[in-house]
Structure 1
């Protein structure tokens, strides 16, 4: 009979240990489920972000394509105008003489300026330059 009582005590102790272990495992399972849910939420957010970034990338690619097409159209228009100007210059001797005439010295000086490293350099150069002379006679326009 003693050995039955000892066996019952051991079984009771073993049952208590198993219950505590079960409770600990249940707690671990709950924590793991919460972590899984948090990771799922993070993954969903990242997938949404990736989809948004992909959409923005496609929009930028389309905009870049439109800009390239506009640039190409503008270049073709510029080339057409330049060819037309060259043709007019070639065909009209009076226009050719006018185009080959040198600019007056005062106008040429307006196009001359040194290279600047900063806005301060430009302001110093601008404040030190001579004022543009007034017109001597009124134009007929």
Structure 2
């Protein structure tokens, strides 16, 4: 696999995994790290950028939703997310819940800069932890 294809595949997988579409960027990252065909730092960076951009796609979807009250669900979401604010997006890496957090944050019209910051931090820390665990596991086996 060429370096361009390696990084392109990592980006595509991480982007799609962060949208409402199913994906498994974690498996892609681990596989590419185990294959040793690309820089760990570059793979983590590209995965984080792709995943953050995918999360921003969900935020944009939320922004497109009408702002009418939706009953009890609306009240619960408003109370919880307003208490945490954009910092809730630090958990955007969680499966299923993370996608929903991004959509709701967009729907609640949080400010862009804090949303992007916490989204990027959460996504990046997840990939750093995964890469570190993978590389530590590789050392353990050798």
The alignment's TM-score, normalised by the length of structure 2, stands at 0.20
Higher relative contact order (CA 8 A, sep 6+): 2
The alignment's TM-score, normalised by the length of structure 1, stands at 0.21
